[in-house]
Each structure stands twice: as C-alpha cells, then as structure tokens.
Chains A and B, each alone.
Chain A
C-alpha cells in the first residue's frame, strides 16, 4: 500500500477565513478576512495529531474546514482521498459523515429539550440499520465511554459536565467514523474529570483504531492526546513534529515562548 492511500485528511495550501461587511456604501461588497494562511497538513490513518494555538490563532477555523462547513478561499481539502469542496453538497456530506466531532463546550452544545436517546440516535438516522441494530450500536458506544444505559432517558441538564462530555464522545463514535475531531475536549472540565476524559479518549482510539485530530491550547494535555503536534501562530504553522521532540527541544521562537510562559505560570 502506498503512503498516499493512508493519508486520510490532507490540506493543500489552504487560505481561509470569514467574510466581513464594511461600513457605508462599501457594505454592498463583502470583504474576505483571512484567518488561516497557506496551511499544509497531512493526517495519516490511525494517527493522533494535536493542533496547538492560543485564542485567535485560527485553530478552530482550521477544524471547521475539515468538517466540511467552511469552504476555504484558496486551496484544496482532501478527506478520505476526495477533494470535498469540489463535490456537490450531498456527496460532501456523505464523506464528512466519516468524521466524528466533539464540540468545545458540553454545556452549550446539547439541546436542553432533547433527551439523550434522541441525541444518540441522530447520527444513525440516515443509515439503513434496523431499530434493534441502532439500539445495540448505542449501547456499545455508551459502554465504551463508561456510561449507564439509563441515562438515555435523561435530559442534558440532569447530567454533570463530565457525563455530558462523555455523551458527546459517544455520539461522535456511534456511527463508526474513521476520524475523531475534538475541539478543546477538556477545557470546560475539572482536573480530575479532565484526566478521566483523556484516559478514555486514548482507550477508545486504541480500541476503534481511529485517527484523532485535536485542537487545544493546553500544552500539557497535548502530550497525552498527540503523537504529533502542529503549532499554529496567527494563522500560520510555525512548527510541526513529534510531540516529545517539539515540546522538549522547540526550534521556533514562538514555540519556545509558549513553553517558557507555560512553565513559568504553573
């Protein structure tokens, strides 16, 4: 097998961002406001990659384009070998469905009026599975994240933050995706719960043999969630490499600054 077949996410010279509306008569024309510039990134099957950056560096924006919800201004995004933004929306969704996504804040990302059971069923709606198979899948996902079946009858507000985060992880893996994309998976959690979630994610990845793409600002958490780290600063990748090497012998000025200020503040 060639290496090219193993690459499941590939970003080629991506420039992306948002549109802004200027004041006055110029508001007729929207202006491109790039946030991420000329980024190249490969994720190999089964690999753990962490994107590290401070707030405003464009790390979440980068994740959005991989999820297929933000077309880039320039460049191509390949997911599972297909350039997703060249496909019609329906085809694109079929491919991006192979990415399980865990959003940043568990408290804000579950609808308080919807029971956990409905939340868990949603990713399987379009599949051809029978009701019984769906139930089995859901139970298996819940078992993986160490939650009891009875929480399916609960509403999100009846759960604690750590349990909500586990529900979101279970929901992301219930349709057996190839990639797990996590946006700051632990930043809203307490330390002891954070450690539980980190251990859990590593267990799940080993069991399901997923590729894991994590976005975080916490260097210490990155050690556990990544074989490879990508440091991003003001929309540009400044350093990339094996986690242990980058974090112990940083070569770029910015990485050094990041690590020294992290060391000094704890």
Chain B
C-alpha cells in the first residue's frame, strides 16, 4: 500500500499577538484508496488540518512538524511548499456549495476557469473533460453545462463541486462537511456517490465531519479530534462499537439514533476555547474517569487493540 497522506507531529497555529495553536501535534497515515474521517466538535482543529492537506492555510498561520503528500514533503517546520500538489494531487470540496460556486459563471465556465488555470487547456478540451466528470457524478452534461449555480438544486450544486474538484485529476479529495447542508435522502445519495468514486477511480477521501454516525457508515478509519489533538484513531467499526477513550464514549452515547430510545448521556461542560493553556490532559474538565495522573500532563499516544489512544488509562 502506498501512503497518500502522512502527518508527523503536525502543529498548526494562527498568529495573533502570540501564536494560538489550533492543531497541537497530530500524527496519522492515510493509504491510497482509503476513506479517512476526521470527527470532532466545532473548534477542535479538524478543518485546519484539512486546510493544511489541501494547502490553503492563510499566510499568517504557523506550522511545525512534517506533512507528506504522496511522498512529497509539503510542510516541514515553518516551511510550506505546495508546488505541483495543490490542485493537481489534492483538491477540496467546500462545505456550502451554494456560496462556493461563482454565481456569475455557468457550470461550463467554472470548469474552464479551473482547468485553464491548472493545465491551460482550450475550450474544446475543457468541454470534453467536463462532460466526462459530470457523467461521473451522475449529472446530465447537456443540461447542466449551461446552467448558473442558482439554477441547480442543493444536491446538484454539491455534485458539481465534486466534479470540479475531480476535474484537475486530483488523487486525494478533502471534503469539509459536504453533507451537513443537505437533507437525509440527498445525504444518502452523496455518500453512495463518494464511495463509488473511491472504488472506480481509486480516490483517497479525507472526510471532515461532526456527525459520528455518518462517518461510521462510510469511513475505513476514524480519527476523533478534541481541541487540537487526535484522542483516538482506528478502524471505524471498532471505534463505534467499543470506544476506548471517555470522549469517544460520550460522543457515541450522546448521538440520538432513530428507533432506539436510549437516555442521552453527556458529561456536561463544553470544549476548550482555543488559545487557553491547559496543564494536564485536554479532556480533564469533562472526564468522569479521571484520576491523579491525568492532572499532570497530556498522555502520549499509545497503541491498544489496533487503535491509537491518548489516555492515561491505557498507558
């Protein structure tokens, strides 16, 4: 198996008066053809990690550690070099397709804009390629090509955004909450489409979501993030059925499931605000299973039962 994305102790921060670390050292490996999921609540750094993989970090961000994409080192220390990677190998499906497509351009012009900026192709070649990619996402090219974004429905907009992301020949796609703006049946269609693309074009998908259940449905591997660190990482089936970390346990228990009337368990409290220095484990305030050692410092990652967990109970 070939490594698609590899992060080693990756840290990302934003420069304010002093540096606020949004991602505080994460390590993970994604194989080619795998669906990898970053799950977490808002403010945990999952979108920042995604942005680092795509190469759209803002200029005032600070990085540390190593990030490799298909063998090429893109982040090393505070140096970032995405030449030949951004767009051509990695591309991005944004959260809200309605506001990410240019309202002044028809779908054909959007494709022209993207492909021309990457490969400098002419109109004829662009139309040819765009037809192929629109077919791939189950849209009718003859109709859709001349439409403006507002003439498409929400699901069609999202498919167009995926076709646009694929159109540069990208091997890795980072999708930032692609399903959160859609209704249940559209969500189902999109999930099926993405898994089928993985099987047919051997696409690597990095899926960013806050919905643990839909992550479990489609992903091979799940990483649970909490205030800038990956607390638990492992195969999706295992994480959902037998969570090891108390935070994962809480997430699994607090999701309402249709047809099962269980009491919703939560530990109270809210995620840490970014920029606050904490001594001890990051989950200390909300953890019901804490003991003396937890207050000292944050545990190092440890491999237990095919998973990597950061919790003092397993060290």
Complex Cα distance A258/B191, Å? 16
Residue among B210, B264, B265 making CB contact with A190, cutoff 8 Å: B210
Complex Cα distance A234/B141, Å? 29
List of B residues within 8 angstroms of A244 by Cβ: 261
- Greatest chain A CB density within 10 A among B183, B265, B268 is at B183
List of B residues within 8 angstroms of A193 by Cβ: 41, 270
Contact A161 B42 (CB under 8 A): yes
The stretch from A12-20, A88-96, A213-221 touching chain B is A213-221
Complex Cα distance A194/B191, Å? 24
Contact with B along A226-266 (1 / 0, CB 8 A): 00000000000000000010011000000001110111111
In A161-176, the 8 Å CB interface with B consists of 161-163
Given contacts A196-B268, A198-B264, A266-B217, is CB(A191)–CB(B41) below 8 Å? yes
Contact B214 A195 (CB under 8 A): no
List of B residues within 8 angstroms of A194 by Cβ: 254, 256
Complex Cα distance A195/B273, Å? 20
Complex Cα distance A163/B251, Å? 19
List of B residues within 8 angstroms of A217 by Cβ: 183-184
Contact B42 A190 (CB under 8 A): yes
- A244 (CB) vs chain B CBs: closest residue: B261
Cβ distance A76 to chain B, nearest Cβ, rounded Å: 32
List of A residues within 8 angstroms of B42 by Cβ: 161, 190
Tally of B interface residues using CB under 8 Å: 35
Residue among B154, B265, B270 making CB contact with A195, cutoff 8 Å: B265
Contact B266 A258 (CB under 8 A): no
Contact A195 B213 (CB under 8 A): no
Contact with A along B206-245 (1 / 0, CB 8 A): 0000111110110000000000000000000000000000
- A55 (CB) vs chain B CBs: closest residue: B183
List of A residues within 8 angstroms of B258 by Cβ: 219-220, 223, 247, 259, 262-263, 266
Residue among B183, B188, B261, B265 making CB contact with A223, cutoff 8 Å: B261
Residue among B179, B183, B254, B267 making CB contact with A191, cutoff 8 Å: B254
**Interface residue? A128 (CB, 8 A):** no
Given contacts A54-B183, A194-B254, is CB(A162)–CB(B265) below 8 Å? no
Complex Cα distance A13/B187, Å? 34
Tally of A interface residues using CB under 8 Å: 34
Residue among A163, A221, A258, A266 making CB contact with B214, cutoff 8 Å: A266
**Interface residue? B255 (CB, 8 A):** yes
Complex Cα distance A258/B184, Å? 7
Contact A198 B259 (CB under 8 A): no
Complex Cα distance A163/B184, Å? 28
Given contacts A160-B270, A190-B42, A247-B259, is CB(A195)–CB(B254) below 8 Å? yes
Complex Cα distance A221/B214, Å? 15
Contact B251 A192 (CB under 8 A): yes
Contact B185 A257 (CB under 8 A): yes
Contact B255 A265 (CB under 8 A): no
- B261 (CB) vs chain A CBs: closest residue: A223
Cβ distance B243 to chain A, nearest Cβ, rounded Å: 13
List of B residues within 8 angstroms of A259 by Cβ: 258
Q: A224-B256, A261-B185 are in contact. List 4 more A-B contacts (CB 8 A).
A: A55-B183, A195-B256, A223-B258, A258-B184
Q: Pick 29 A–B contacts, CB within 8 A, sort by A.
A: A54-B183, A55-B183, A161-B42, A162-B270, A163-B270, A190-B41, A190-B42, A191-B41, A191-B251, A191-B255, A192-B250, A192-B251, A193-B270, A194-B256, A195-B255, A195-B265, A199-B264, A219-B258, A220-B257, A258-B184, A264-B188, A265-B179, A265-B184, A265-B187, A265-B191, A265-B214, A265-B217, A266-B216, A266-B258
**Leading 5 A-B pairs by shortest Cβ distance:** A195-B254, A220-B256, A261-B185, A266-B213, A190-B41
What is B's interface to A at a CB cutoff of 8 Å?
41-42, 154, 179, 183-185, 187-188, 191, 210-214, 216-217, 250-251, 253-259, 261, 264-268, 270-271, 273
